[in-house]
Amino acid sequence: MASVELTQISKKFGALEVIRGLDLTVEDGSFCALLGPSGCGKSTLLRMIAGLETVSGGTVRIGSRDVTEEEPKGRGVAMVFQSYALYPHLTVAENIAFSMSLAGAPKAAQREKAAKVAELLQLGHLLDRKPAQLSGGQRQRVAIGRALVREPEVFLFDEPLSNLDALLRVQMRLELAKLHNELKRTMIYVTHDQVEAMTLADKIVVLDKGVISQMGSPWELYNRPANRFVAGFIGSPAMNFLKGHARATAGGVEVALDGGATLTLPPRAAAVDGPVELGIRPEHVRIAPESEAHLKGCASVVEYLGNTSFAYVDTPHGPMIVESGGVQGIHSGDAVGLSLRLDEAHLFDETGRALPVAGA
């Protein structure tokens, strides 16, 4: 068992600075997701922890050891990649035990260990199959098995589910969660999929262009986004954003929206005066009679998903998505009123920084 501690880590490829002075502590036994759009530096960061990439600056500590200069195999980590790259001519058991065979372990010990790991991954009945005779999900499980055999202190996953179809991803996600509950090992999991990060992680680290945009629990990131980037990245469908101009009044914060409507939000912790974006999630907006509505618009598309519905509404302030409340019976082209839960609205200043509610 080991924690992972990164101090002022940076990485340059020539003139391109990919990771910029990043500090991060991943607690022993926790599940940490590195989340961000493609190209933000997630894989590079993970590879530096694994020792597959040198650092341009800073230190990597695993447990009590500084491993910054250490070879990958001395770090006590095992990595699972998106492409599972199994050996096609080896069986499941041989693939799983490959690192043991390299180390010259006796055949019987290899087999025994592979069988034990395979059981954990529900591959017990497939030990003698070749990769070509497995489904995508089973192959990915073998790749995970290969990492398990090494009994690392830290597991590193780089988008391990991205090659699987939607249903399998959900299944494997659940199995990874169970695996973490059982092993209680430190896991660092790279993904661009916010649902994976939200469901698996104790702590999510959102990366934006090589710096940490925000880190916190899934609840914190969803309910208390620190900035516009995180607010827009976490949640599906995404948060609605309306541009306007804010000023503090005796009753709260008055936001004059572009397109001409004024809303009053609860007071903010800091002074507010200037251009803002108001953010509100689809579940905090509902279709309402005109007399109760804050905003007016016109429904463009209504999606019925069974357990919920989404209405896409064009307003003079910009497009908005409404989840569920009052969507039933609304059709494309209908004029609608929108009622907003203003106590749930977020405000972002010109630089994208969140302006939290006073006392929250």
Ligand X SMILES: Nc1ncnc2c1ncn2[C@@H]1O[C@H](COP(=O)(O)OP(=O)(O)O)[C@@H](O)[C@H]1O
From the list ligand X, Mg ion, none, which binds 39 (C-beta under 5 to 8 Å, kind-based)? ligand X
Identity of the residue, 37 or 74, whose beta carbon is nearer to Mg ion in the bound complex: 37
**Is residue 39 part of the contact set for ligand X (CB under 6 A)?**
yes
Q: Which of residues 251-290 bind ligand X (CB under 6 A)?
A: none
Considering only residues 6, 22, 33, 40, which one is a binding residue for ligand X as defined by CB under 6 A? 40
Helix (H, G, I), strand (E, B) or coil at 112: helix
By CB under 6 A, how many residues form the interface with ligand X?
11
Give the position of tokens 């340059």.
12
Closest approach of Cβ 71 to ligand X, in Å? Answer: 19
- Least CB distance to ligand X at residue 147 (A): 19
- E-strand ranges in 140-239 read 154-158, 186-191, 203-208, 211-216
Minimum CB separation of residue 11 from ligand X in Å reads 8
What is the nearest approach in angstroms of ligand X to the Cβ of residue 212? 13
Strands (E) located in the chain:
4-13, 16-26, 31-35, 57-62, 65-66, 77-80, 154-158, 186-191, 203-208, 211-216, 240-249, 252-257, 261-265, 273-280, 285-288, 295-304, 309-315, 318-323, 335-340, 346-348
Token pair for residue 155? 């597991």
* Pick 37 or 289: Cβ nearer Mg ion: 37
Q: Which positions touch Mg ion (CB under 5 A)?
A: 43
Whole-number Å distance between alpha carbons of 97 and 100:
5
Site for ligand X in 10-29 (CB under 6 A): 13, 16, 18
What is the longest distance spanned by two Cα atoms in the chain?
A: 79
Give the footprint of ligand X on residues 42-101 (CB under 6 A): 42-44
Q: Between 49 and 118, whose beta carbon lies closer to Mg ion?
A: 49
75 binds, among Mg ion, ligand X, none (CB under 5 to 8 A by kind): none
Q: Which residue has the tokens 């080991």?
A: 2
Dist CA 26 CA 128 (whole Å): 37
Distance in Å, CB of 80 to ligand X, minimum: 14
Residue 297 binds ligand X, judged by CB under 6 A:
no
CA distance linking residue 247 with residue 265, whole number of Å? 10
By the criterion CB under 6 A, which residues form the site for ligand X? 13, 16, 18, 36, 38-44
